[in-house]
Amino acid sequence: MTHIGILGGGGISETHARAAVAIPNVRVSAVCGGNAAKVAQLAKQYDATAYTDVAAFLRHRPMEVVAIGSPSGLHGEQVQAAAAAGLHLLVEKPLEISLARTDAAIDAVDRAGVKLAVCFQDRGNPRLGLVKQWIEAGYLGTPILVSARVKWYRPPEYYAKSRWRGTWALDGGGALMNQGIHTVDLLLWWLGDIVRVSARAKTQLHQIEVEDTVVATLEFANGAIGTLEATTAAYPGFPRRVELTGTLGTVAIEQDRIVSSDVRDTPEAMRQALNAQDSDANASAASPIVSDARGHQRVLEDLLSAISTGRRPGCDAREGRRSIAVVEAIYASSRTGKPVEVDRPSP
C-alpha cells in the first residue's frame, strides 16, 4: 500500500485525491492546507488525517508521496521541505514561478534523492501521445509551423474570490503562467526546445495585477516557428486549438482531441488511431474544475512506477523547468519589447 499526502485544500487537491484513490493499493492518508474547514472536509471524505501545519503534516507516517496543489508561489519551499523529509513528490504545474526558485527546488530534490513529477497531464494523454509518435515517425515531415490558441474565459469572481490567483507573488503571472503553460509544455514535448521568443502581454479585461492576454512568437531549435495566444478574457471560452504543419501535412487538435489530419499518403495506422479516439470530459475552456481526473491519475501512476523502478518520471523537475524558462522569457520580452533568448541549462 502506498500512502499519499495532499498538500493544499483547493479544487485541484480534490482532483489529486480522486486520482490517487482510483489507483489500486493507494490511499490518501493525510491532508494539509491553510483553510481548516476545507481541509477537514477533504480529510473526512477520504478517511485521512487533517493538518493545518505543514511541518506536522510532513512528519505524518505512513506517507511516502506528497501531492502539492497549493498556490504556485509556495511550491518551491514546500518541495524543499518535503524532499528533506524523504518524501517523493507530485507537484501541480508550474513547479515554481521563477527559474531561480525552480533551480533551488531541483537542487533539494537531487540532494535528497527523491523522485518528483510535475503534473503536465497532456504528456499522459493517449491522443496527444499519438501526435508525438507521428512527429517522431516522420509522418508529418519536418516541422515548419505551429499555431496554439488557448482562448479561455474565467469570470471575475475566479480572481476576486481567491487570495492568490492573478498575483505576481503567488500565481507568478496570469493567463500564460496559470493556463497557457500546459500548452507551452505540450509544444516542448512535441517539438523540442524553444530558443527565442517575442511577445506582448496585457491586462485587457480582469481587475488583476498580471496579464489576462498574451501573444508570443516562438522559435524552435529544430527550425520551426510558431505563435501562442493565451487569454482568460475570451467569453464564453473556446476549446484549446493547436495546429501543427510539417513538410508532409498538418494535424490539428481541439481541447485534447485530434480533429483533423491532412497528410500526404496517410499511413493506415493514423487512420485507425483517429477512428479509435476516446473523449476528454473536462471543460477547461470555461471552468477551472477538473471533472475527469484520468490525466492526473496517469501522472501519478507514472511517478509511482518511477519510484519502484528507479527511472526518471516522464515529466520530472528538469522537464518541468523548461516551460517556466519559456514563460519567463515571454514576460521579459513583453516588458522590454525585444526578442529574448530562452534560458537552457548546459548539457
Q: Over 70: is that where the pLDDT of 282 sits?
A: no
pLDDT at 290 over 90: no
Neighbours of 285 (CB within 10 A): 18
Give the pLDDT of residue 229: 98
Q: What is the pLDDT of residue 210?
A: 98
The DSSP-derived string for 243-289 is: EEEETTEEEEEETTEEEEEEETT--HHHHHHHHT-------TTT---
pLDDT tens-place string over residues 120-156: 999 999 999 999 999 999 999 999 999 999 999 999 9
Could you tell me what percent of the chain has a pLDDT over 90? 88
Is 171 strand, coil or helix?
A: coil
**pTM greater than the 0.85 cutoff:** yes
| Rounded Cα–Cα distance for residues 71 and 34 (Å) | 11
- What's the pLDDT score for residue 274? 72
Q: Does domain 123-286+322-341 have CATH number 3.30.420.10?
A: no
> What is the rounded CA–CA span in Å between residue 53 and residue 304?
26
Average pLDDT over residues 232-256: 96
Predicted pLDDT at 279: 61
Please name the amino acid found at residue 167.
T
pLDDT, residue 345, reads 83
For the segment 23-60, what is each residue's pLDDT rounded down to a tens digit? Answer: 999 999 999 999 999 999 999 999 999 999 999 999 99
Per-residue pLDDT at 208 exceeds 70: yes
Tell me which fold the domain 2-121+296-314 belongs to: Rossmann fold (3.40.50)
Any idea which of 75-84, 211-220, 259-268, 312-321 has the lowest mean pLDDT? Answer: 259-268
pLDDT value for 347: 64
For 315, residues 6+ apart whose C-beta sits below 8 A from its C-beta are: 117, 118, 119, 120, 123, 185, 299
Taking residues 80-90, report their average pLDDT: 98
Give SS3 for 317. helix
Per-chain mean pLDDT for the chain: 95
Q: How confident is the model at residue 276 (pLDDT cuts 50, 70, 90)?
A: low
Q: Find cell 522569457 and name the residue.
A: 329
Decide which of 236 and 281 is more confident.
236
Q: Which residue has the higher pLDDT, 183 or 273?
A: 183
Q: What pLDDT, on a 0 to 100 scale, did the predictor assign at position 285?
A: 72
pLDDT on residue 281: 60
Q: What pLDDT score does 278 carry?
A: 66
Q: Where does the pLDDT of residue 283 fall: very low under 50, low under 70, confident under 90, or very high at 90 and above?
A: low
Domain layout of the chain by residue ranges? 2-121+296-314, 123-286+322-341
CA 160/CA 153 separation, integer angstroms: 14
Count H helices, E strands: the chain? 11, 14
- Write down the pLDDT at residue 232: 98
Model pLDDT, residue 296: 96
Q: Cβ–Cβ contacts within 10 Å for residue 292, how many?
A: 16
Average pLDDT over residues 306-315: 98
